[in-house]
A and B are shown apart, each in its own frame.
Chain A
Amino acid sequence: MDQAGSRQYPDKPTKVYLFGTCLIDLFCPEAGIDAVQLLEREGIEVHFPADQTCCGQPAHSSGFPEQTRAVALAQLRLFPEPWPVIVPSGSCAGMMRQHYPEVFADDPGLQAEATALAERIFELSEFLVHVARVKLADRGAPTRIALHTSCAARREMGTHLHARSLLAQLPGVEVAMHEHESECCGFGGTFSLKHPAISSAMAGDKVDALQETGAQKFVSADCGCMLSLNHTLQKRGEGFQGQHLASFLWQRTGGEGGQR
């Protein structure tokens, strides 16, 4: 696994691909649109291959390599131009960057393609910081937010610091630290279905910690964690909710005119 900081970043491109992820596609498409708008505002043309579905992570983490491989193969050739592929989710980005090469370990040709694709995979906040090198202009009222970084972003992509560095560009946004910040929120994909008691306990502790900061909302760069925590909060009848980082940044910087 590559560590944060060891990656060589390319110059800012004029065109990129977006891999939207299956969760964003069906459950929070506004986060995908806001990611596109953030990129377009930087003068980058965003291409969204219509045949994309899912990175294959659910089958991979459940121990179904054949099904993983088939679904991954269906994504592998959707990005023929040598442009970066932007993924607005740390765990899906981690799947494509860290695990695709091993998924195709049985076929050197496909593995070479997977490795080449993996090199072009960027988690959204990582791309905004290191490749697009965005300068954000804060257009909102002072606020205090909490940040939940996914475990995949933290440990597979080393991108947990990127969201923080983007938020640090916004002088009106205070980012509160919460207790056990680096701890998992209990989502874990199919884990939340297989082990509901443990998953609920973890999600409950996480929303407690986030709320204890006195923040107005929390922000996350991973749709899976965010949905799990938001639905937990809704079940508890809490008004406190999370928002995808892309949406928060887009709204906070006033949309189209938000460049510094």
Chain B
Amino acid sequence: MSAQPLNFVPASEFKQRAAVAVADEHLRKSFRGAMDFLINKRAAQFPDPEALEGQRSLAEHIRKYSLARLPDLLEQLERKLTANGVKVHWAENAHEACAIIIGIAQRHSTRLMVKGKSMVSEEVELNHAMADVGIEALESDMGEYIVQLDGEKPSHIIMPAIHKTKEQIARLFAAKVPGASYTDSVDELIGIGRAVLREKFMTAEVGMSGVNFAVAETGTLCLVENEGNGRMCTTVPDVHIAITGIEKVVEKLEHVPPLFGLLTRSATGQAITTYFNMISGPRQPGEKDGPREVHLVLVDNGRTQAYSDQQMRATLQCIRCGACMNHCPVYTRIGGHAYGTTYPGPIGEIISPHMMGLAATHVLPTASTLCGACGEVCPVRIPIPELLVRLRGEAQHEARPGHPPMVGQGAARSRLVDAIWSGWMALYTRPKLYRAFGWLATRLRVLTPPMQGGWTVSRTPMKPAAKTLHELMAARKRGR
């Protein structure tokens, strides 16, 4: 269905790409600098730890409450939006989502669609599906515009082009933007992009946006942005199509401010963004502007699988702030592209298995030291480390009794790994055998293998001590 396969790079080749990424000094330095900047900006917004914990509790409860009522809220949202004149569509997977959007675009004989930032549209690979039917889908968020111009995917969910230096962007613009001459002034570069996009906003028949919060009670689509391109996409073209995941719904308008406040502070360290759009329907008779048609595409794409498990449901609490990746020591080392998924970093490691199946993604939940930095900063308190451990288990075993199997359940299973852990268990549940093993290992310490797999890539081999603590303690006891 699309010119390129659904994922530019397979998630299963994570290890190779990560090895290349950590060897790239430039990438290491630029991600470290960018993440430090974001970490400090966020920290400055939360000077009072107690207040932050209070805000996190509130936000966590709003998200949990919303998810607990998700089926009802989605129905209510559909009723309200329909009454407001918005057409609601349901897409079970990426293919359906693209087909719905292409259908709308083709009914309007669209040649050009301008897009505000939407990770769900990245997730369903919409741009490629559109290109296949001859419709240009142009990203208008500056970061998204840059990565699209260079044929890349975003490397961060909030800052898509964070992996690029201004010099790289300068060269890219000079090469790809008609009439642009080389400049590495950031303001001038933004000016060049803006001039291109202004023109496109005026000619596009369809505008597209994501949704940060969908309010069921009022049928309001809330859109958080800084550049104003989101407002352009949702007001200038005759047709506005919003796309979002089914988990983004909240019940009441009053549930939005606590989430909004934490989203912007956690993401970019802003107390508030420059734009907060609330869209509740198409242009009404007598109104002079706004789209004549508004559509909402609600995408499942594996979310129901996460939803149906009590523990993994917490994955859907996410409000996509990106703080988990900003604080992740692994993401900071390898950048977003190494993951090979739309959502990189810790949130990507726990949500991608639902979207893409464990067969393609089982390595991702292992790409964490379980240091807990992600869980510590998550504004809605998703227990990311616990979910990583859970997914590691699901990739290694059959489904637990009473749990339906995940897509790709047990995909990482191997006889060798099973045998290793069975042997480990046999040793560590038999104290006498364990002590004998310790005695032998210390006596044979000169025979310690010089190569110990991944450990000795950058370390000297582990060598047992001359005597175990067990022996030393037994000797102390005898001497007492």
Contacts and interface: CB of A to CB of B under 8 A. Distances in A.
Interface of A: 18, 20, 22, 24-30, 32-33, 36, 48, 50-54, 56, 58-67, 70-71, 73-74, 151-152, 154-156, 182-184, 186-189, 191-204, 227-228, 231-232, 234-235
Majority DSSP secondary structure for residues of A touching B: helix
A63 B396 contact: yes
Nearest to B383: A1
B462 A197 contact: no
A26 B458 contact: no
10 contacts: A27-B465, A48-B477, A50-B435, A58-B424, A59-B424, A61-B389, A155-B373, A197-B15, A202-B333, A231-B462
Contacts of A186: 329, 369
B458 A203 contact: yes
Given A51-B431, A201-B22, A194 B469 contact: no
B292 to A, nearest CB: 51
Interface string B447-480: 0000001111111111111011111111011000
Contacts of B23: 197
Contacts of A73: 429
A150 B469 CA distance: 22
Interface residues of B, number: 65
Nearest to B53: A3
A183 B329 contact: yes
A196 B455 contact: yes
Given A26-B468, A53-B434, A188-B370, A232 B395 contact: no
Interface in B346-394: 366-373, 375-376, 389-394
Given A71-B425, A227-B462, A234-B460, 5 more contacts: A29-B465, A33-B473, A54-B428, A195-B15, A198-B334
A209 to B, nearest CB: 12
B371 A151 contact: yes
Interface of B: 15, 18-19, 22-23, 28, 329-330, 333-334, 366-373, 375-376, 389-397, 421-422, 424-425, 427-429, 431, 434-435, 438, 441-442, 453-465, 467-474, 476-477
Contacts of B460: 231, 234-235
B333 A196 contact: no
Nearest to B330: A198
Contact of B457 (A29, A70, A200): A200
A81 to B, nearest CB: 16
A70 B429 contact: yes
Given A22-B428, A33-B469, A228-B459, A191 B464 contact: no
Contact of A188 (B371, B453, B477): B371
Nearest to A28: B465
Contacts of B376: 155
Nearest to A152: B372
A60 B468 contact: no
A52 to B, nearest CB: 8
